[in-house]
Amino acid sequence: MNPRNNHRLILFPHPFQGHMNSMLQLGRILYARGFSITIVHTNFNAPDPSSHPNFAFQSITDGIDQSEASTLDTRGLLALLDVRCAVPFEECLREMVSSQGGDAAPIACLISDSMFSFTCSVAQRLKVHALVLRTAGAAFLYIATIFPVLKEKGYVPVLGSRSEEAVKEFPPLLVKDIPAVDPQKPEVMFRILDNLIAVIKDSSGVIINTFEELEHSDLASLREVLSVPFFPIGPSHRFCVISPSSSSQAEDTDCISWLDKQPPKSVIYVSFGSLAAMSEAEMLEIALGLADSEKPFLWVVRPRSVHDPEWLEKSPSHFLKALEGEGR
């Protein structure tokens, strides 16, 4: 690896697609400024090193496969990754620290995703400077800092009948702006937010994918409440006009020729991201809506995103007919 400015940055992205995209964009920004970049990543949803030839890649074991992940909701998967990655990550970083010198550039800093709760404490033990990357905006993070008060005042869990009600202690916040909490398992969300705030307080600062002009008041509140520096660099994609693919799924380009034949602004696009899983009933409801629209549509359905693998065969006949005509 070329040491370039003789400083190496270790980046540890969360494997969720949106988090991975933001970290790889940050890596390209920092590489362009002379840093050597090493990406430590999980085996689950691993990035493709061939798409990023300027980076070094190091994987850690996590013991999670796609079939196990598909049985969990997003919060459950967050919690599982946080537990299973802690020891392998520390072992990996310890080895990197011990191998410094010679041809290996010194480690200037660790930048980890803020959804990992253990990274900053590991870095402190190994005497490595640590920043965290917050891939979402400042407003959500500010809500996380006031969550204990929201619980105390009875705003959490959110009840549908109160969704338009103002949170009078924190104007202009409305009840519907508060992150959803499963009333059956509220402790999962509470723990995620507690860990998020704790790792930020343990860090040397937060790189956040927003910009000052958009969220000035929330950023000012965060700097005051959390007492760490915030570095708004967003939107990070503006620095990456030509970006290699960072998708964790193989790209399917079969639809391109069909799309090219459709009139401009005529196609309904449906996608639920890289994690959501739905029931057969939910899929059938979407199918009926698309068929009844009588409009061209492109619906992205990931492998294992549907609990029932035979949902398509059970779909209404007029939806299947639509797939043969205006839909893909």
Answer with the residue of higher pLDDT: 3 or 196.
Answer: 196
**Sign of the CA dihedral with 309 first, then 183, 74, and 276 last:** positive
Residue 42 pLDDT? 95
> Could you give the CA distance from residue 160 to residue 183 in angstroms, rounded to a whole number?
12
**91-100, 163-172, 209-218, 270-279, range with the lowest pLDDT:** 270-279
pLDDT in tens, 105-151: 789 999 999 999 999 999 999 999 999 999 999 999 999 999 999 98
CA angle centred on 259, ends 253 and 260, rounded to 5°: 105
Residue 255 pLDDT? 83
**Sign of the CA dihedral with 64 first, then 69, 71, and 77 last:** positive
Residue 2 pLDDT? 45
> Could you give the CA distance from residue 86 to residue 84 in angstroms, rounded to a whole number?
6
How far apart, in Å, are the Cα atoms of 209 and each of 18, 113, 126, 235?
A: 11, 12, 27, 6
Identify the helix (H) or strand (E) that includes residue 95. helix 74-98
Residue 311 pLDDT? 62
**14-18, 141-145, 173-177, 179-183, range with the lowest pLDDT:** 179-183
> Could you give the CA distance from residue 149 to residue 108 in angstroms, rounded to a whole number?
38
> Per residue in 76-102, is it b (16+ CB within 10 Å) or e — as a string?
ebbbbbbebbbebbbebbeebbeeeee
Residue 75 pLDDT? 82
Kindly report whether the global pTM for this prediction surpasses the value 0.95.
no
Residue 141 pLDDT? 95
Would the pLDDT of 293 be above 90?
Answer: no
Report residue 317's pLDDT band, with 50, 70 and 90 as the boundaries.
low
- Strand 206-208 and strand 56-60: pairing? unpaired
Both ends of the chain: CA-CA distance in Å?
44
Would the pLDDT of 307 be above 90?
Answer: no
- The overall average pLDDT reported for the chain is 85
List, in order, residues 6 or more apart from 176 with CB less than 8 Å away.
158, 163, 164
Strands (E), the chain: 8-12, 36-42, 56-60, 107-113, 130-134, 206-208, 230-232, 268-270, 297-299
Lookup: tokens for 158: 């959110």
**83-97, 108-122, 157-171, 204-218, range with the lowest pLDDT:** 157-171
- Sheet with strand 230-232: strands edge to edge: 56-60, 36-42, 8-12, 107-113, 130-134, 206-208, 230-232
Would the pLDDT of 164 be above 90?
Answer: no
Residue 175 pLDDT? 86
Average pLDDT over residues 206-228: 95
DSSP string, 228-241: S-EEE---GGGG-S
Lookup: tokens for 276: 């959501």
Side chain identity at 297, as an amino acid letter?
Answer: F
pLDDT in tens, 49-107: 999 999 999 999 988 877 677 667 788 888 899 999 999 999 999 999 998 776 677 89
Side chain identity at 237, as an amino acid letter?
Answer: H
- Among 48, 233, 210, smallest CA distance to 138 is for 210
- Among 120, 133, 115, 93, smallest CA distance to 8 is for 93
Residue 194 pLDDT? 93
Answer with the residue of higher pLDDT: 299 or 197.
Answer: 197
How far apart, in Å, are the Cα atoms of 206 and each of 27, 82, 150?
A: 15, 19, 24
- Among 65, 56, 54, 49, smallest CA distance to 92 is for 56
Average pLDDT over residues 269-282: 77
- Which residues partner with 24 through β-bridges? none
Query: Is 39 in contact with 56 (CB distance < 8 Å)?
Result: yes
